[in-house]
Structure 1
Amino acid sequence: MAEDANLAASRAREVSLLVLDVDGVMTDGGIYVDARGEVTKRFHVHDSLGIMAAQAAGLAIAAISGLDSPAVAARMAELGITEYHPGHHRKVGVLQGILERQGVPPEQTAYLGDDWVDAGPMGLVGLPMAVADAQPEILELALWVSRRGGGQGAVREAVRFILAAKGRLGAAYEWFLD
C-alpha cells in the first residue's frame, strides 16, 4: 500500500486536470424526487470549496455524469465547471474530448470515480482515484482512495491530496485569506 501511496503522490505532482464523476462522488448517490417528479441532489460544501481552491491554484476541473439533471447542471455552472458533460454512461470518448480541448495529456489527468461507469476513464488517466464507498472493482483500479465517501467531502480530500503533492495547498488556502 505504501508503494501505491508513493506512486499516487508522484503522479499527483504532474496533474493539471481533475475529472469528476457526479453521482456517488460529488453527491452521496441519493436521488431525491419531489411530488412533481423534480430531481434534486445534495452536494457537500467542503467539496465545493475544494473545487474553488483547486481552480484558484490552477488545477482545471471537469465533470462527466451518467445522469442528466438540471439540478446538477445548475451546480456545475455555479462552481464554474464549464467542462460538464451529462448523460454519458460510456465516458472514455467524452474524456478524450475534454483532454483534447484542454490540451492535457492523459498522464497529467486524475479521475475520481465510484462505480463501473468510471472504470474506462480510470484506466486512461495517470492518477485513477476512488471514493471510499466505491464499488470493489473501482477500488482495485485506484492508486488513491479517499477516507470519506461520495458526497461527504471526498472531492475535497482528492483536491487536498493533489495540491499538497504539487506544493500548492498553502497557496490555495492563502487565496481565501485575501
Structure 2
Amino acid sequence: MAAPLQALRSRIRRLAIGPRLAAVKLLVCDVDGVLTDGGLYYEASGGVTKRFNVRDGLAIRMLQRAGIEVALLSGGRRGAIEHRARHLQICHCRAEVGDKLLGLRELQAELDRGREATAFIGDDLNDLAVRPATALLVAPADAARGLRQRADWVLRSHGGHGAVRELAEALLESRGALAALHRDGWREGNA
C-alpha cells in the first residue's frame, strides 16, 4: 500500500511542476552525489576515481539533442568531472566552485538564461544555495534531508543510480519527445 501511495504522490507532484518542466532550457547538474554515487576512491598516487552512470550520460545526450543545454556545476576537484563533461560534449563545466549561487548566476548570464528557464539537480546543503536562481530545484532520493525538504521534486532514484535519467525523461516527456524515443530508440551511440 505504501508504494502505490508514494507513486501517486510523485505523479501528483510532477503534474504540479509540469509547466516548469516544459519551460526548462538549462539543466545544471551537481556532480558528486548526482552524476556519481558520492563515493570517492583514492588511488595510492593521490588521484581520485569516480563512478558515473552510463544511463545518466545517455539521458544528457538526449536532452542536448532536444535543445536543452546541460551544464555541470560542482564544488568537487577538477579531473574526472572535466573528462566526463568532454565525453558528453558538455560545453559548460565548472568545478571547484565555492559559491554555487554565484557560479550559477554567472553561467545564466553567459548563456542568457533566466531563473524561469533553469532547473538544478543537487544532493546536499551547498546546493540549496541556488534556490533563488532556479525555477525548479530537484533532489535525488538520497539527498540531504534539508535539501529534500526544500526541493520542488524529490526523485525516486538515488544519485549515481539514474537520478539524472529520471529527471531527463520527465523533461523530455514535458516536450512530447519521450514517446518517440521509447518507440524508435536511440541511434547516436553510447554516452
TM-score, L = length of structure 1: 0.93
**CA distance in 2: counterparts of 1:3 and 1:111, whole angstroms:** 20
Report the counterpart of residue 145 of structure 1 in structure 2: 154
**CA distance in 2: counterparts of 1:48 and 1:132, whole angstroms:** 19
Q: 1:5, CA displacement in angstroms?
A: 2.7
Runs of 4+ with deviation above 3 angstroms: 1-4, 170-175
1:67-97 deviations in whole A, cap 9, x for unaligned? 1231111111111111110001310111011
Structure 2 gap ranges (5+): 1-8
**CA distance in 2: counterparts of 1:86 and 1:130, whole angstroms:** 19
Q: Does 2:29 match 1:20?
A: yes
Amino acid paired to 1:71? A
Report the counterpart of residue 80 of structure 1 in structure 2: 89
Name the Cα RMSD after superposition. Answer: 1.7
Q: 1:3, CA displacement in angstroms?
A: 5.7
Report the counterpart of residue 176 of structure 1 in structure 2: 186
Q: Choose 1 or 2 for highest CA Rg.
A: 2
Structure 1 gap ranges (5+): none
- State how many pairs are aligned: 178
Report the counterpart of residue 162 of structure 1 in structure 2: 171
SS class of match (1:28): coil
Residues 60 and 171 (structure 1), Cα distance of their counterparts in 2 relative to 1, 3 Å cut: farther
Q: Any residues of structure 2 matched to 1:87-106 within 5 Å, and which?
A: 87-106=96-115
**CA distance in 2: counterparts of 1:47 and 1:137, whole angstroms:** 24
TM-score, L = length of structure 2: 0.87
SS class of match (1:176): coil
**CA distance in 1: counterparts of 2:185 and 2:110, whole angstroms:** 27
Percent identity (aligned): 37
Q: Does 2:91 match 1:68?
A: no
Q: 1:123, CA displacement in angstroms?
A: 3.4
Structure 1 residues 29-38 or 118-127, which shifts more?
Answer: 118-127
Q: 1:101, CA displacement in angstroms?
A: 1.2
Q: 1:175, CA displacement in angstroms?
A: 7.1
SS class of match (2:130): helix
- Out of 117, 132, 141, the position equivalent to 2:126 is 117
